[in-house]
Amino acid sequence: MEETKAAIERAVPGAVVTVIPNASPSGQHSLLIGEEHAVAIGTFLRDDAELALDFLSNVTGVDYLDKEIAEKVKVTRRVPKAVDGAEPNQVQMVEETVEETRKHTQPGYLEAVYHLYSVSKKHGPVVIRQRTANRSDQVELPSLTSVWRSAEFQEREVFDLFGIVFKGHPDLRRILMWDEFKDYPMRRDYVEPDDFEYEPTAHDQVLKRAQEHEGRV
């Protein structure tokens, strides 16, 4: 992996490549590539005589939710305190260390994962990934369909189910869901819609859930 990373950095100046280790026994580590040079990196991986990763096998998306991280921090601050031995009303500033819980939100992101093999050299897989900045408004990534045609339907599927918008894709439409569908069903916070066609007169559980959805309970 480190060798591939070095080769990419030699061939594509300015490319941002990070090795993402994989703790599983499969040992399939991956390379996180920056979106600015993604197409150049893809072209290099495909055309390089040594790597010759001409076969893009699998493209998929992964969703990571926003994470609320609570960490305990030791804070030292000066507090006024009555000191023994001094005058009864005299207050002195004393340094005190307390433990405080601080919460902050780590923004989630969407990931596009590509598994590459080489048909001519018969090696692989080399796994590359791209990450979006967040899950809501900055979900654009460069499409690699211009490098490998096999990404055409698979990137459409990732767009359909995860909502990653691939810039430069020739035909980015929904592929499995119908065109009028609004949400992205493979996201981890996806909630099923309540207006099921098979439930024309919603009752009991379905009705309760619909009301909860609208905040009417």
Partner 1 sequence: MSAADTKTERVGAAKPEGWNRPPIIPSDDIEGEVLEVAMGPHHPSTHGVFRMDLALDGERVIKLKPVFGYLHRNHEQLAQNQTYLASMPYTDRLDYICSLTNNWAYALAVEKLAGQEVPERAEYLRVILAELTRVQNHASTIGFLLQEMGASGTPLMYAFREREKILDLFEGLTGSRMMCNYMRFGGCRVDASEAWLAATRKVVAGLPAFADEFERFLMTNEILMARCQGVGVLKPDLAINAGVSGPMLRGSGVNYDIRKVDHYGVYDRFKFRVPLGDHGDIYDRYMVRTLEMRESISILEQALKDLPGGPIMDPKAKIRNFRPKAGEAYGRIEAPKGELGFYLISDGGPNPYRYRVRPPSLINLTVLEDMCLGANVADVVLIFGSVDIVLGEVDR
Structure tokens at 93: 């500033």
Binder of partner 1 out of 154, 163, 164, 172 (CB under 8 A): 154
Structure tokens at 140: 């654009």
CB of 113 to partner 1, least distance (A): 7
CB of 112 to partner 1, least distance (A): 12
Q: Any idea which residue has 């090795």 for tokens? A: 19
The dihedral built from the CA positions of residue 78, 81, 85 and 89, taken in this order, carries a sign that is positive
Please give the residues from 33 up to 72 whose contact with partner 1 meets the rule CB under 8 A: 54-58, 60, 62
Cβ atoms of 167 and 155 within 8 Å: the answer is: no
Does residue number 19 form part of the binding site for partner 1 (CB under 8 A)? Answer: no
The footprint of partner 1 on this chain (CB under 8 A) covers a number of residues equal to 35
Q: How many CA atoms lie within 13 Å of 113's alpha carbon, on the beta-carbon side?
A: 14
Q: Any idea which residue has 């980015």 for tokens? A: 172
CB of 19 to partner 1, least distance (A): 14
> Where does this chain bind partner 1 (CB under 8 A)?
22-26, 28, 54-58, 60, 62, 113, 115, 119, 122, 125, 127, 148-154, 161, 174-178, 185-186, 190
